[in-house]
Amino acid sequence: MVGITSFGAYIPIYRLSRDMIANSWGRGSLKGERSVANNDEDSVTMAVEAGSDCLKGLDRNKVDGLFFATSNAPYKEKLSAGLIATVLDLPKEVITADYANSLRAGTAALRGAVDTVKAGSAKNVLVTAADCRLAYPRSDQEQWFGDGAAALTIGRDNVIATLEGSFSINSEIVDVWRNDDDRYVHVGESRFILNEGYMASMKDAISGILKQSSKKPSDITKLVIPSPDYRTHIRLAKMLGFDPDAQLEDTLLGSIGHCGVAHPLMLLVATLEKSNPGDTILMASYGDGAEALIFNVTEEITKIKPRRGIKNCLQSKIMLTSYEKFLSFRGILEPVPAEPFRLFPSVSAYWREQNSILRCHGSRCKQCGRSIFPIQRICFNCRSKDDYEEIRYAEQTGEVFTFSRDQLAGRSDDPVVVQTIFEMDDGARFYLIMTDCDPENVKVGQLVEFTFRRIYEGAGFHNYFWKCRPLRYGGR
């Protein structure tokens, strides 16, 4: 049977209290917190995080498909899935595709992966979904939206949740949209979009799949649905005959917000984290219609290796100290430019060096065994030429050897750059910036892990590279 074989998730470490947003505007608060991607994060970097979490315990050389779903890809023309596959060090022969534009893209990618495996085009497909949507300042959506990512692998072996069936509703409706030259999401009148949009399509999709699979609401262990607010999904569940208290899963709206395309998959991951063999999960996503899927959890779920997932990400957070910082992280407020860069990137050099820059490969000399990052053609230790093997460091942890809190290198919204030298078990050294940290708490000897980030914009393209961060709860 085809189904989910592994899962992972990512929530940025930063949270912003909705009261803080509300106070800044002198308007009502929607209560709770929302997650905020750091100024070096985007949908691709978050997808890499979730994908890496999901690949824990799996052989990445056996992953032969990668799908990426988002409404906010860093490039309008250029594949993001291919970048993610490279950063996750998947084989070159991997099938890649981006799913985009609709909030249903996440479940579309999930269904696409199941169909791909069923058709035999690939054996193990990694589905990643991430989003980082911009809402108009002061709007309700600014408070509701959050940033995050989820990832699932679809395959035939060691399936933890088999897909029993899926059901799709198409609905042409202009209710939540962004024109091709817009930064911010538009929303229609709330009564129209709730009743004729969300409620109508979700009702059709959920009742449709129940009918298709000859199930009653009481056959479902957990109903996993995103919601545009704190109440509408409860109204929907009741209307369909579910018991909200017993069956309805938390929407994560209070703790992180609605993470767009990634959200239904993040909710599914949160549910899988606490599921037991025999559970039946009904999940649905909304966007230009709705899509419902039913999964049956198997015995394999008890064998899944520990991972970060939603649960650990929720517990690991740093509160943003100002609303302005959030605006600046998202590029809504423009920070004072830092000193200009002395070195200019090049697309050809970036391409040529991608095994070090993107795959996080160092070289280990086959003659003397000395490891170094980035890849060196001539071993500095024994001077052997072109006689090395590449090793990936991205999943390992290192120990801080020395550091500096640099006040010159940063931007006005993030003025302290922690320049870090850390050492791996094999002695290889990395010189990277530490992100997602309180600079005042950095210490020689502390453990750090790798995180893939957007480092700056140069030469007209997005420059990505690795940084390090203190170990987040649950490690890697």
Part of the chain binding other proteins (CB under 8 A), chosen from 53-61, 204-212, 268-276, 366-374: 366-374
- Burial class for 459, CB neighbours closer than 10 Å (0-12, 13-18, 19+): exposed
* Residue of 136, 177, 184, 350 that binds other proteins (CB under 8 A): 350
Residue 349 interacts with other proteins (CB under 8 A)? Answer: yes
Contact 88, 94 (CB under 8 A): no
* Residue of 403, 434, 448, 451 that binds other proteins (CB under 8 A): 403
> Which residue lies nearer to other proteins by CB, 219 or 389?
389
The rounded Cα 277 to chain-centroid distance in angstroms is: 26
Q: How far is the CB of 406 from other proteins (least distance, A)?
A: 3
Distances 123 to 106, 143, 226, 440 between C-alpha atoms, Å: 20, 40, 29, 47
Residue 339 interacts with other proteins (CB under 8 A)? Answer: yes
Part of the chain binding other proteins (CB under 8 A), chosen from 63-71, 88-96, 225-233, 368-376: 368-376
Alpha-carbon gap, residue 339 to 189, rounded angstroms: 45
Residue 450 interacts with other proteins (CB under 8 A)? Answer: no
> Which residue lies nearer to other proteins by CB, 58 or 416?
416
Q: Is the dihedral of CA 399, 405, 411, 412 positive or negative?
A: positive
* Residue of 121, 170, 190, 346 that binds other proteins (CB under 8 A): 346
Contact 94, 63 (CB under 8 A): yes
Which residues from 405-434 bind other proteins, rule CB under 8 A?
A: 405-410, 417, 419, 421, 423, 426-431, 433
> Which residue lies nearer to other proteins by CB, 380 or 473?
380
Residue 444 interacts with other proteins (CB under 8 A)? Answer: yes
**Residues belonging to the chain:** 476
Residue 338 interacts with other proteins (CB under 8 A)? Answer: yes
Alpha-carbon gap, residue 52 to 45, rounded angstroms: 11
Q: How far is the CB of 78 from other proteins (least distance, A)?
A: 18
Part of the chain binding other proteins (CB under 8 A), chosen from 54-62, 199-207, 266-274, 400-408: 400-408
Residue 455 interacts with other proteins (CB under 8 A)? Answer: yes
> Which residue lies nearer to other proteins by CB, 204 or 406?
406
Contacts with 149 (C-beta within 8 Å, 6 or more apart), sequence order:
9, 10, 11, 43, 46, 47, 49, 50, 128, 129, 130, 131, 259, 262, 266
> Which residue lies nearer to other proteins by CB, 353 or 387?
353
Q: Which amino acid is at 28?
A: G
DSSP-derived letter for residue 306 is: P
* Residue of 157, 341, 386, 441 that binds other proteins (CB under 8 A): 341
The count of chain residues that interact with other proteins, using the rule CB under 8 A, is 48
DSSP-derived letter for residue 54 is: H
Reported as type and span, the H/E element at residue 391 is: strand 388-392
Alpha-carbon gap, residue 206 to 200, rounded angstroms: 10
What is the binding site for other proteins (CB under 8 A)?
Answer: 338-346, 349-350, 353, 357, 370-374, 376, 380-381, 401-410, 417, 419, 421, 423, 426-431, 433, 444, 455-456, 458, 463, 465
